[in-house]
Amino acid sequence: MQLGINVRPAIANLLLRFNPFKRHLIINLDKNDVLDLDSDFHRIMRKHHKEILNLTIDKKKCSHIAEILHRIYVKSGKNIFTELYFTYNLLPEEICRVVYFSYSQNLYGSKVLEYFLKLHFNDPGIFHTKWIEDDPIEFLENIGFTSFFQIEKRIKYAKTAARTLIEKNLEPYDLFEYFGKDLLKMREFLLSNKDSGFDIKTTSMFIRDMVLLEVWKNPLNFDKIDVASDVNTVRVALRTGILQTAIPLVSSFLDIFCYQYTLIDEMNAMAWRKVWEIWQEKYPADKIESPCLIDYLVYRIIGKEFCKEKLCEFKCEEENHNFMWHSALNKTCQICLKKGKRNRAVVIRKILPCSDTSGNIVIENNEFVSGRNPILPNLKVCPFEPVCNPQNPSFIKFNPPKSISILGQTGWESARVNRDEGGGGLMS
């Protein structure tokens, strides 16, 4: 094993212990690899995180997932890949303004967005661009978010997002024509405005929803917009194996500057794009227009509903028996209930539905499977189960990393420690 390194041997040994697959990892640091907040760990992470993590995309696994998505498309239609909101009959320019300012606050999801759309329906003045720029605190008060954490960051996001438009004499709706309907140019513009709240995830979601809601029609480069990477889409990518790493992903101050987190985001989007590319190559007549349309099914349904520990094992408090149930809110022994007895039961463990033969009770009782308007009726197992093979003893329930926010009460700005001074740390 080769290792060239100019930092403490203990650190090199630690990295190699957690990364045994990198037999020829060579790490060299010099005096220029220093930041005021850096330790030896962080300098190694900044310069060599790609080599240490060694992320790869498994094309064979991507092909398997593409086949499954195509079968779902053929059976259920395109609507399963779209999430449309009740818009209160707002005009396209009004919808665009609400989505722009809510997504710039990193607030998204059908229920959340419909709440903001209803606010605009009742009082359009809340989302007035100039008034938000003049008084972002009042805007946050009007939408009920002044009690949220990291309020200073939210004020900055609101003010900058508004000022970005005012400087060009535009409203959010106008961005489409301003950039010649080119979604890539618009994305780069939004991402270039620091402190406006738009990162690659929220920008992709904003553009995706404006196209899906037909606020913007006949766009250019819609196929270049990727899945909006988040913990749910990363979780599914890791567990299906379309995205693979040399080492487990650990959220810690070792990744204080989010090198690991950013790289995972980028590679996750690339992995889902590879799935989409294989799909469109194999079935050009039965495909969705952009990788970003995979997002709703993978994020909202697979990631948030099927790929979490929702199958609960209960123990009866009165009699010696256990049973599986689909909800942790249950307080009653279901076995005793069938006998006419009312005994209490407590949860003793929670597991992934796909990892147990009783997991179908979670899937079958899910709102997307048996709700008022099911989009996956009669489903009994997660569609990706054949790829993950979760009941195999070799299956590992990989988890995504979490970001340490740069700004805010619990971020590294308040938790950091200056060199040689000590102190620092997170506060709950």
Contact of 267 with 426, CB cutoff 8 Å: no
Spatial separation of the C-alpha atoms in residues 294 and 229, rounded to whole Å? 11
pTM: 0.85
Q: What is the pLDDT of residues 357-397, one digit of tens each?
A: 999 999 999 999 998 889 999 999 999 999 999 999 999 99
Contact of 171 with 158, CB cutoff 8 Å: no
| Maximum pairwise Cα distance, the chain | 75
Q: Could you tell me the CA-to-CA distances from 63 to 66, 70, 227 in Å, in that order?
A: 5, 11, 17
Pull the structure tokens for residue 283.
């079935």
Residue 350: the pLDDT is 97
Contact of 244 with 58, CB cutoff 8 Å: yes
Residue 203: the pLDDT is 95
Closest CA to 296 of 140, 72, 138, 45: 72
Q: Sign (positive/negative) of CA torsion 107, 109, 115, 121?
A: positive
Q: What is the pLDDT of residues 66-104, one digit of tens each?
A: 999 999 999 998 889 987 788 999 999 999 999 999 999
Phi-psi domain of 88 (left: phi exceeds 0; alpha: psi -120 through 50; beta: other):
left
- Nearby residues of 151 by Cβ (< 8 Å), 6 or more positions away: 140
Residue 349: the pLDDT is 96
146 or 320: which carries more pLDDT confidence?
A: 320
Residue 417: the pLDDT is 55
Residue 416 in this model has a pLDDT that exceeds 70:
no
Q: What is the pLDDT of residues 39-76, one digit of tens each?
A: 777 788 888 889 989 999 999 999 999 999 999 999 99
Question: What's phi and psi for 323, nearest 5 deg?
Answer: -155, 160
Please tell me the least confidently modeled range out of 100-104, 246-250, 265-269: 246-250
Q: What is the pLDDT of residues 318-340, one digit of tens each?
A: 998 899 999 999 999 999 999 99
